[in-house]
Every structure is written in C-alpha cells, then in structure tokens.
Amino acid sequence: MNLRCSALTFRVVAVSASLLAMLSPAARAERLPKTVIPSHYALTLAPDIKAATFTGLETIDVDLKEPSKTITLNSAEIAFQSVTVEAAGKELTAAVTSDAEKEESTFTFPETLPAGPATLTVHYTGILNDKLRGFYLSKTDKRSYAVTQFESTDARRAYPSFDEPAFKATFDITLVIDKNDTAISNAPIASDTPGPDANKHTIKFDRTVKMSTYLVAFLVGDFQCTSGESDGVAIRVCGTPDKVALTNYGLGVAEWVLHYYDNYFGIHFPLKKLDLIAIPDFEAGAMENFGAITYRETDLLIDEKTATIEAKKNVSEVIAHEMAHQWFGDLVTMQWWDNIWLNEGFATWMETKPVAVMHPEWHIDQDDAAQLDGVLNLDAQPTTRAIRAKADTREEIEQMFDGISYGKAGAVLSMVEHYLGEETFRRGVHNYLAAHEYSNATAEDFWGAQTTTSGKPIDKIMGSLVAQTGVPILTFGKAADGRIDVSQHRFFLSPGIKPDPAQKWTLPVCFKADESGASCDILTPESTHLTLPKNAFVFANAGGAGYYRSTYTPEQYAAIVSNVETALKPTERISLIGDEWAQVRANTATVGDYLNLVGAVKNDESATVLDAALGSVGTIHARIASTDAERDALAAWIRSSFAPAYAKLPAPSLNDTPSAIEMRTTLFGTLAAAKDPAVLQQAREIAGKFLADPSSVDPNLGQTALGIAAIHGDSALFDKLQQVYETTTNPGLQEGALRLMASFEDSALARRALDYALTPKVRSQDAAIQFAIVMQTDKDRPMAWQYIKDHWDAIHALLSPELGNILVGSTSSFCSAAERDDVQQWFATHKVASADQGVKHAIERINGCIELRSLQENNLKQWLALQHSGQ
C-alpha cells in the first residue's frame, strides 16, 4: 500500500499520516486459533449498487488439525443466512454467534467434527459501505462503482474469512452484476454468461494463486482499459470512461517496470495478467492487490502535456512501488503485521530503481537522499518506534503503516545495498524470494539470506536497526595513521532529551576515498575508531546512503565545506546539509552556521540540493523568526543570494532538460516566497496564461506560477480555480485547483475555502487536507483552527482515521505554549479515531518549535545584523 495521498498537479502539498483502517475505535484484531487451516475459497457475490448491498455464497475448504465442535473465523458487518459443513461424509448445520468487537464469528455444530478436511458453505449478505474500506461504493457524478480495499483487516467485510496474512489460500471468484457493467479481479476472466436473469450476467474468474485474504480484489462498474504487454504478461490500465484517455502514460511505465523486475528478481511475474485500476474514491495512494492493483486517480492517470516532472515522477514511483509488492508482499508475504516493513520498506526502496534507469535525466538518487534526510528527522523526534513493533489489535496494526515501516525500513535496505554492492544484494533478494514463494516469511529470513549470500554481518546490522528506536549520530575525532576516533549515541532533534548511553548500533560507515570513491568499515557497539582511507578530507557518508547523522571536528567540517561544490556528489551535499540543520535543531550549531552553508551552495547546479537547503530556510522563516522585521531581513538575504543565479538562466525553451526546468522553477518559487517584486509580477502573468491555456506554458513553471498567484490572489482567481475543479476531467488539474483554493492568504477567501470543503462537491478523501493546508498559513491559522472547532461535528463526521490524523497533524504548525495547551485540551475532549499518537506527535512538534525559537532566534538576529552590515 502506498501512503501518498497523491502528487498535486498545481502544487505539491506534503501531508503524512498513518494509514489507519478502524471503523470502530474499540475494534480489536484478535488472533485466530491455528487449529483450522483454510486452503481454498469459492466466492460468488452479487452486488446491488443502487441499494448499496450485496449477497454472498461462499465455500471454504479447510483442514481441522484436531476434532472440534466449533470453527471461528473473521467477519464484520456480515449477516449470516445459513452455515453448513461437510465433513466425514456428513452435512451439519451450524449455529452462528458473532462478536462485533473482536470481528469474529463462531460456527457451532451439533456434533464434533473430526480432524481432517471439511468444507464450509456460507450464505450471507453485506453492505456496500461509504467508508473507503471493505466492499464499498465509489461515486462519480454519473454513477456508483462497487470496489474493494482490504488491507489490512477488511476482507472480512466482504467475505467471512481467516483474515490473517499467514492463512494463504486459492480463490475462485464469481460476480453476478448488471448486464452493462464489467468486473475486474485478481485473475483473468474464465467465462462470461448471461443471467441469472435478463438484466444480469455472471463473470467467473480463473482460480488465483495461493495468497493472503487482504490481497483479494474485485471491482464492478463501467471501467474502460488501455491494454499492453510485457514479457508475455497482459497489462491493462483502467479507469472510468471519461478518464481512459489518461491511461497511456501509466501503461508505458508498467510495461517497463514489469520487465525490469523480471530481470532484477530473477523470478518471472507469477500471474498471467496485471491490471492497474484508478478509483474515484480511494483513501490511500494505491493498493497492491495481487494482479489487480488499485490507485487513487491522481497516482495513476496523467496527461503528459500538462503534467509536471514531479507529477510524472510520482505516478511512475507509485506504479513501481505497487508492482514491487507483487513479489515482495504478494508472492512472499510477512508472517504477521509486526513485519509489515518487509513489504513496505522494500517497496519504498525498490520504487525508485526502475524509474532511475528509465529516466536517468531525473537524477532520482538525489530525491532518495532528500527523502532519507526527512526520515532521519522523523526518527529523531522525542517519540518514535522500532521498525518491528507490537501489532496485535486492529489499531496497532494500522499504525504500523507509517514513516518508519516505509521510510526508515527503505533507508536501511538502501544502506545495506550500498555497503554490499548492488549485485550481491540483488542475489540475496532473489534467494530470499525463491525460498519463500507463495508462503510467508520473517525479518530473520530476509537478513539471514543476505548474510549467507554476502558473508557479511548483515544480520547484526539489520538486527540492530530493526529492533531499536531512533537515529545514531557518529562523532568523529582525531584522524591519524589511517584511523579515526569515533563514538556513537542516539540523536534527538531536541537538546532537552538526553540519550541512553547504553544504546548503540552495528553500522557500515563508508568514507569518501581518493581512488575507490568509498571505503567502508563496520562500526560496532564496542568500536572506538574506524579505518580511514586516503582522501583530501574526512567525509563519513560516501554516497549519502548511511542511516546515521555525522558530526566532525571544526577543522574537519571546514575542510568539507571548502570542498562542498568541487568534491562532494549531489547526494553527499544533501546529506551534509541535512546533518548541519540537524545540529541546529539540537543546538550544537547556530542558525547562522546553517545559513552560511546555504550560501556556500547557492550556485549549486542541482535543484534538489537547493531544495534541500532552502527547505530549512523556510523553517527558519516560519519557526525561528517571530517578527515581520526578522522575516523581511531573511527574505532580503534570500533575494540577494539567489536572484543573480535566476537572472543568469536562459529563457525557457522546449529543449530544456529536466534539470534546467527544475532549477528554474526552484529559483522562481524561492524568489516569489521572498517577495521579489519582479518575480511576483511574472507569476501573475504566467498564471493567467496557464489558466487560459495550460498547453501554452511549460507546466512546471505554469503550475508554480499559479501556486504563487493563488497565495496573493483575489476572488476572481478563486472563482476560476473553483470552475476548474468543478469542470475538468483531469484528476491532477482538478485536485490541484482544489488544493490551491485553500492557499489564499486573504482571510475571507481562506474561510470560503473552508466552507467549500464542507459541501458535497468535495470528496471525503479530500476534505481534511483542505483544512490542513489553511492551517499552514501563518496569517489564517488562528481563523482556521477556530473554524475547525466551531464546525467540529460536521468535520468530525467526514473523518476516516487517515484523514483524522491529517487534520490532527496540521495543528503541529502552532508555535506557542498557549496554542499547544489549546490543542491538547481540545483533543482531550474531542477524540479522533486512532489519532492518540497523532495528537502526541503534534504536541511534540509544537514544543520543538517553541524550543527551537527560544534557542536560535537571537542567533538569527545576530547573523542578519552581520549580513546587513556587510560583514
């Protein structure tokens, strides 16, 4: 499953939240006994889309490991009509008792069933809900669709099942649907026959391979598809009829990625076909159902003529993420949800590899380095968790789908690959998959395969990073005679938190080296020094792939900075920038030190490096500067530092490389944020042209300009954006227009955006994001927070657990004790399902802002004064 809500085509708004799947905060995902093992399901479902209900007929072949009068499985919102069992030549009828809290049903039989094979037959009914999970309704202006989302524990809402990942089985799926509709499922269609009445037809699918219940999918509606093929596998990209023209880009990506993965894994794609389906209402970014991957429309459907490079990257990487799961997650599945990182961490790491080969001009490795820096900051918060953690209840399971399982786990895999080398690591991956095909595995299985394949202590390295919370920081000291002193401890962004001195890791530390480029040594908990290769200066994160922070002596740091533009790769510069900002947060460096480093890279040729540097400058503006005078002085420095580079850029051309395009948009957006009058005027002019005819302007520049214009815009522009949102059939343009409606600084228009978010025109999957965007605006934040409280009942009714966490997380933009106390008191009495951790993190971030400002604001004033005096 992909966490991303989607790339916003007008402006990317990053919102992260744990993907939670609870419909009731009290629900618990109790473990089933291992005394009944399913092997095969035969499902016949007949959805009534207009009535929002369905009927089901199910048989389950099971093996009883011991005699029993009862069989317990999972169900939720299922009404049982009858349950029988055939065992040992007898047919018995069961009495059914259900426990809604445990989401379990127990079938009790009049006689004891013997150990051995048995077949359950279940007649039942269910609802097509509006909660974006289970078997649910997705709606457009013209009609409704019946679709599914089962991860992690919602297959039980569509069919009674042994709904745990280790209970793998095969599936025969049949759908009885309206005669003008079609259906898509995991396997190809085996037959399509009229009936059972004149207005219906019955579609039967081939038997699936052995797989977990949460990977089953079925979708009903008037979907239309574009077809292709790769390595003998039929591939389709599907959507609603009005959007089928936007499927070609995704199809090309999928064909490329499948061939790449066939070669990389050394295991051919295990199914005959692969469908990728865009769904109008979809809570997550995408879901890796085996052979029938489902997506949010903005993460699959794209118009190449109006899409930005960032939007193309997003669609490509989301497709690659979900397709990686077909091997790592579907073919081989974690034994239990505490190891979900085996699915999500691997897919996060893998998603950029085929895209980087497909588009070397995108310099994906630099994006990876920037993502790693964000993960290190996430893991250095006061409260974090280990990659593998307790996950017994539904709530605990769903909270595993977070930045740790995805980002940290992916980063650890990247570091291990960098240490071992790509081919050695690839062989370890192949050996792991080959050993566990169509089965389940654990973390120990994975790193055991890597240890055996490489002969290196990968079990110790990964074991220490998977089991422990937090980020290591390596402190380097004296270097002499080919050795360098080093110590390690846990790093916190907050200087008020003292680490446990006993906590240490086993890590590969890779130094830059003159001849080989990198030389790695293993740091153990007992190490006090490491082997140092020959190099003009000490830099302890060659390639920028290490999962640790680094700090150096003043002389070592000065040598690095003097070589930053000549001897460090872009990924290494991003790592250095991230380390220095982390030191500012921890109060071991000043904000002036950081801004001096930003000045040293102001002419960098990589837009990603500049983005990394300027992102924290934005934080300084929002979280350290507290007066208009400070912010104006900082903006003046930004203009004087970056306007010359922007002025040197040639005029936009159709022949511009992606790097040139991204550099122009980065500098353009930076100077606009710094209120450069000439750039603001340019933005208004370009935005007008782009709105009138999106094809008349480079979409990257046009959409950046429109985002700038919206911030400073008037009601006429708001009206135009609303018109785009309500009339376009392009999902990216539609969602982008909606997001920009929440970006206006004009308080009346910001309030109008909030009002609009509560109308039926805005899908529930989008509403909370609108509130979160307004909460990021300094001027409108107090108004937005009061609005949320004043309209709490209406807003709360729209919140799924994911959206609730997005809304809660938006309050972390506050930066005072009074605001912190208000947020804490509000959510103490106005609970949001599965958001207790979200509230805790929001409060921690507010406290972090208070602390950062108190420690660094005077440093900022002094540094700005020096710049003003010309020193």
Cite the beta strand spans of 524-612 per DSSP E: 529-531, 549-551
CB contact at 8 A, 149 and 132: yes
Question: Which residues on adjacent β-strands are paired with residue 475?
Answer: 487, 551
The pLDDT tens digits for 116-131 are: 999 999 999 999 999 9
- Has this prediction a pTM greater than 0.85? yes
According to DSSP, the β-strands at 549-551 and 471-480 are: parallel
Q: Which residues on adjacent β-strands are paired with residue 59?
A: 42, 121
The β-bridge partners of 191 are: 204
- Residue 180 has what pLDDT? 97
Q: How many other C-beta atoms are found inside a 10 Å radius of the C-beta of residue 166?
A: 16
Q: Determine the angle formed by the axes of helices 607-619 and 570-585, rounding to 10 degrees.
A: 10
Largest CA distance in the chain: 95
Spatial neighbors of 566 by CB under 8 A, at least 6 apart, are none
Average pLDDT, the chain: 94
Q: What are the CA-CA distances from residue 465 to residues 335, 344, 546 (Å)?
A: 20, 16, 12
Identify the DSSP state of 214: G
Is the CB of residue 133 less than 8 Å from the CB of residue 21? yes
Distance CA 802, CA 283 (A): 8
Other beta carbons within 10 Å of 141:
7
pLDDT given at position 342: 94
Q: Whole-angstrom Cα distance, residue 428 to residue 115?
A: 40
Report DSSP state, residue 496.
T
Higher pLDDT, 827 or 284: 827
Residue 5 has pLDDT above 90, yes or no: no
Per-residue confidence (pLDDT) for residue 871, from 0 to 100: 59
What confidence score (pLDDT) does residue 165 get? Answer: 98
Indicate if the pLDDT at residue 575 is higher than 50.
yes
CB within 8 Å of 46: residues ≥ 6 apart: 54, 55, 56, 175, 176, 177, 200
pLDDT of residue 13: 32
DSSP assignment letter at 208: P
Q: Residue 68 contacts by C-beta under 8 Å, 6 or more apart in sequence?
A: 35, 36, 112, 113
Q: Which residue has the higher pLDDT, 838 or 107?
A: 107
Residues acting as catalytic residues: 322
What's the pLDDT tens digit per position in 299-344?
A: 999 999 889 999 999 999 999 999 999 999 999 999 999 999 999 9
What is the predicted pLDDT for the residue at 21? 30
User: Could you report the per-residue pLDDT of 456-467, keeping only the tens digit for each?
Assistant: 999 999 999 999
Q: What is the C-alpha separation between 417 and 461, in angstroms, rounded?
A: 12
Please classify residue 173 by burial: count the beta carbons closer than 10 Å to its beta carbon, then call 0-12 exposed, 13-18 middle and 19+ buried: buried
Higher-confidence residue: 9 or 272?
272
CB burial readout 640-674, b (16+ within 10 A) else e = ebbbebbeeeeeeeeebebbbbbbbbbbbbbbbbb
Q: What are φ and ψ of residue 450, in 5° steps?
A: -70, -40
| The two three-digit tokens of residue 523, written as one number | 């740091």
The letter for the amino acid at 312 is K
Q: Predicted confidence band at 6 (pLDDT cuts at 50, 70, 90)? A: very low
**What's the pLDDT at 869?**
83
**CA–CA dist 409, 778 (Å, integer):** 34
Q: Which stretches within 439-523 are classed as H helix?
A: 443-454, 458-467
Of the pLDDT bands very low, low, confident and very high (cuts 50, 70, 90), residue 555 is very high
Other Cβ atoms less than 10 A from the Cβ of 430: the count is 17
Provide the Cα torsion 658, 664, 667, 669; round to 10°: -90
What is the pLDDT, as a whole number, of residue 26?
38
pLDDT at 624 over 90: yes
Percent pLDDT > 90 in the chain is: 91
Report the distance separating Cα 612 and Cα 607, nearest Å.
9
pLDDT of residue 283: 87
Q: How does pLDDT run across 136-189, given as a tens digit for each residue?
A: 999 999 999 999 999 999 999 999 999 999 999 999 999 999 999 999 999 999
**pLDDT the model gives residue 515:** 72
Per-residue pLDDT tens for 279-307?
999 988 999 999 999 999 999 999 998 89
Residue 4 has pLDDT above 60, yes or no: no
Predicted confidence at residue 632, as pLDDT, reads 97
Cα-based torsion angle of the residue sequence 191, 196, 200, 204 in order, rounded to the nearest 10 degrees: -20
Q: Tokens 């082997």 correspond to what residue?
A: 531
Token pair 């709606």 is found at: 139
Q: Reply yes or no on whether the pLDDT at 830 is more than 70.
A: yes
Q: Give phi and psi for 588, each to the nearest 5.
A: -105, 0
C-beta atoms surrounding 602 within 10 Å: 16
| 3-class SS letters over 282-344 | CCCCEECCCCEEEEEHHHCCCCCCCCCHHHHHHHHHHHHHHHHHCCECCCEEECCHHHCHHHH
Q: Which helix (H) or strand (E) holds 860?
A: helix 836-869
Condensed to tens digits (0 to 9), the pLDDT of residues 347-405 reads 999 999 999 999 999 999 999 999 999 999 999 999 999 999 999 988 889 888 999 99
3-state secondary structure of 144: strand
Residue 772 has a pLDDT of: 97
CA 160, 161, 164, 167: dihedral to nearest 10 degrees?
180
Given a contact cutoff of 8 angstroms between Cβ atoms, the answer to whether 394 and 416 are in contact is no
User: Which residues, listed in sequence order, are joined to residue 278 by a DSSP beta bridge?
Assistant: 295
Q: How far is the C-alpha of 762 from the C-alpha of 166, rounded, in Å? A: 39
In the beta sheet, which residues pair with residue 687?
Answer: none
Asked if residues 598 and 396 have their Cβ atoms less than 8 Å apart, the reply is no
β-strand pairing of 332-334 with 286-287: unpaired
Distance of CA 297 to the CA centre of its chain: 15
pLDDT single digits (tens) 390-446:
999 888 898 889 999 999 999 999 999 999 999 999 999 999 999 999 999 999 999
- Count H helices and E strands in the chain, helices first: 28, 28
What is the Cβ-side half-sphere exposure of residue 12, based on CA atoms within 13 angstroms?
Answer: 18
Tokens at 439, concatenated: 């089965």
CA Rg, the chain, in Å? 28
* Residue type at position 792: W
pLDDT score at 24: 35
The pLDDT of residue 622 is 96
Indicate if the pLDDT at residue 838 is higher than 50: yes
Q: How far apart are CA 573 and CA 369, in angstroms?
A: 9
569 half-sphere exposure, CB direction, 13 A CA radius: 16
pLDDT digits (tens, 9 = 90+) for 682-735: 999 999 999 999 889 999 999 999 999 999 999 999 999 999 999 999 999 999
Q: Strands 224-230, 233-239: parallel, antiparallel or unpaired by DSSP?
A: antiparallel
pLDDT for residue 8 is more than 60: no
Give the count of beta carbons closer than 10 Å to the beta carbon of residue 514. Answer: 11
Residue 18 has pLDDT above 90, yes or no: no
Q: Assign 833 a pLDDT band (cuts: 50, 70, 90).
A: confident
In the predicted structure, residue 9 carries a pLDDT above the cut 80: no
CA distance 679 to 667: 10
